[in-house]
């Protein structure tokens, strides 16, 4: 995990979120809300297969951590929930078109905290490609869709 925040452009909307002392989060991690605490994607529980796990993660996806939280730290961190900000993220090697939808990637039976992959179902998606890559690429500019921002394209984003 590189723990590098790769913000490129757009409007950021930061929310302060609690982190429990046993959780380690790096700047640039994709985080989800577990109760009232932020956790990195790698802490999300595996459920049956990758598609099911990605769909569950999308339902609680918060955004991109702008601050690290080392072990033992309990101070809130800033997380970007804006659908208007653009980040450069590691992706599974492929050719990408503008508008392709992406979900969090996995290694074996664990989600990764800083890598995405192309998905076919919108219910599994947390990001959208905002650039075209003419050759197989492992870095891509994307915008995110938080389940906690009513202006995002996440199918789980709503009030109430």
- 18-53 pLDDT, tens digit per residue, is 999 999 999 999 999 999 999 999 999 999 999 999
Q: How far apart are CA 67 and CA 51, in angstroms?
A: 29
- 87-121 pLDDT, tens digit per residue, is 999 999 999 999 999 999 999 999 999 999 999 99
The upper half-sphere exposure of residue 126, i.e. CA atoms within 13 Å in the direction of its Cβ, equals 32
End-to-end, the C-alpha distance of the chain in Å comes to: 35
Q: How far apart are CA 157 and CA 74, in angstroms?
A: 27
Judge whether residue 3 has pLDDT over 60. Answer: no
Please state the domain extents for the chain. Answer: 7-144
């Amino acid at each position: 995990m590189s723990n590098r925040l790769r913000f490129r452009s757009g409007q950021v909307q930061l929310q302060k979120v609690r982190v429990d002392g046993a959780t380690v989060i790096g700047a640039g991690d994709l985080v989800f809300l577990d109760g009232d605490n932020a956790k990195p994607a790698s802490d999300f529980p595996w459920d049956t297969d990758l598609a099911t796990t990605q769909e569950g993660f999308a339902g609680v996806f918060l955004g991109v951590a702008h601050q690290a939280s080392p072990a033992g730290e309990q101070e809130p961190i800033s997380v970007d929930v804006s659908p208007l900000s653009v980040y450069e993220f590691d992706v599974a090697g492929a050719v990408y078109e503008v508008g392709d939808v992406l979900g969090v990637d996995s290694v074996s039976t664990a989600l990764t905290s800083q890598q995405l992959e192309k998905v076919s179902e919108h219910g599994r998606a947390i990001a959208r490609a905002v650039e075209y890559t003419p050759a197989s690429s492992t870095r891509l500019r994307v915008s995110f869709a938080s389940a906690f921002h009513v202006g995002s394209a996440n199918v789980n984003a709503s009030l109430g």
